[in-house]
Amino acid sequence: MSEQGIGSSGSASKLERLQKLLSVHGVASRRGAEKMIQAGRVCVNGIPAILGQSANFDTDFITVDGTPLKPVDKHVYVMLNKPCGYLTTVYDGRGRKTVMKLVKEVGFRIYPVGRLDMDSEGLLLFTNDGEFANTIMHPSYGLEKTYHVTVRGDAENAVRLMRQPIEIKKHTVQACKVALLNKTDGGGTLSISISEGRNRQVRKMCAACDLKVITLKRVSVGKLELGDLKSGTWRYLTDEEVLALGQR
């Protein structure tokens, strides 16, 4: 038996991909775990792990940055109204501000679900529940995320264009929903809903429609809305909100 012992369920574990193990035990999302493995931060029985490797939590000694992997005692779900100027990452080697500074009082080891660019704001989820995070982020689940985007350019024409497939770097994307919230002489504000969430997808869609993004704010994820949560503050999700986000 390893130093980790039997997990909280008391039942024997089985071989699982390391990225799934790290996710289930609240270290990072599966994508985040893959990056940690590639960076050499994960060891199994004292040997640096490789991507695609499997392990048994009960019989293998797994460490992350030298700290033994432990079971999660309690799952935590948090939403933050992220302000501009913060990186959506757990750690930044260049010493820039990260969103972790804003949720440090939660009291549990949590990590962001998905990402918002440094110059974007709005609803950002955090958890230590890896399977929940995977459900929220994976494109196959088709969870809609809605953004309010203030732009310069022909916003009215962009609504028409975004309702059609747009090719961005050999990938075809399309808004699930798009509407013009208001129009100004030089632009306007769009409501754009997507379900894929490719890197900077909304900004790239706007650029493809000859729009310059002034502000970008995520206002909802699935049925969860940002509401009147003040910028830079967070709150726990209710049990009902967690269930609603996990339902497909």
Q: For residue 3, what pLDDT band results from cuts at 50, 70 and 90?
A: very low
The catalytic residue positions are 117
Residue 77's DSSP bridge partners are: 127
Inform me whether the pLDDT recorded for 5 exceeds 50.
Answer: no
- DSSP code at position 29: -
Nearest C-alpha neighbor of 229 from the set 87, 101, 76, 83: 83
**How wide is the angle at C-alpha 209 spanned by C-alphas 144 and 182, nearest 5°?**
70
pLDDT of residue 96: 92
Do 126 and 159 belong to one domain?
A: no
Q: Please, what is the average pLDDT of the chain?
A: 88
Do 115 and 60 belong to one domain?
A: no
Q: What is the pLDDT of residues 151-164, one digit of tens each?
A: 999 999 999 999 99
- The number of beta carbons lying within 10 Å of the beta carbon of residue 192 is 22
Nearest C-alpha neighbor of 116 from the set 218, 27, 32: 218
Do 37 and 57 belong to one domain?
A: yes
Distance between CA atoms of residues 49 and 217, nearest Å: 38
- DSSP code at position 140: G
- Read off the pLDDT of each residue in 41-64 and give the average, rounded to a whole number: 93
- Read off the pLDDT of each residue in 55-84 and give the average, rounded to a whole number: 91
Distance between CA atoms of residues 163 and 194, nearest Å: 11
Residue range(s) defining the domain that contains residue 110: 77-140+224-246
Domain count for the chain, please give it: 3
Q: What is the pLDDT of residues 84-136, one digit of tens each?
A: 999 999 888 898 999 999 999 998 889 999 889 999 999 999 999 888 888 88
Residue 79's DSSP bridge partners are: 125, 235
Inform me whether the pLDDT recorded for 247 exceeds 80.
Answer: no
Q: What is the pLDDT of residues 107-119, one digit of tens each?
A: 888 999 988 999 9
Do 41 and 90 belong to one domain?
A: no
Alpha helices of 40-189 — where are they, by DSSP H?
A: 130-137, 155-162
Contact 187, 202 (CB under 8 A): no
Do 135 and 36 belong to one domain?
A: no
Angle between helices 130-137 and 30-38 (to 10 degrees): 100
Q: What is the pLDDT of residues 12-41, one digit of tens each?
A: 458 889 998 888 887 887 888 898 999 999
Higher pLDDT, 134 or 228: 228
Do 233 and 213 belong to one domain?
A: no
Distances (CA, A) of 40 to 49, 67, 99, 110, 191: 7, 13, 24, 21, 41
Inform me whether the pLDDT recorded for 10 exceeds 60.
Answer: no
For the chain, what percent of residues have pLDDT higher than 70? Answer: 94
Place of tokens 């809605």: 146
Phi and psi torsions of 183, nearest 5°: -125, 135
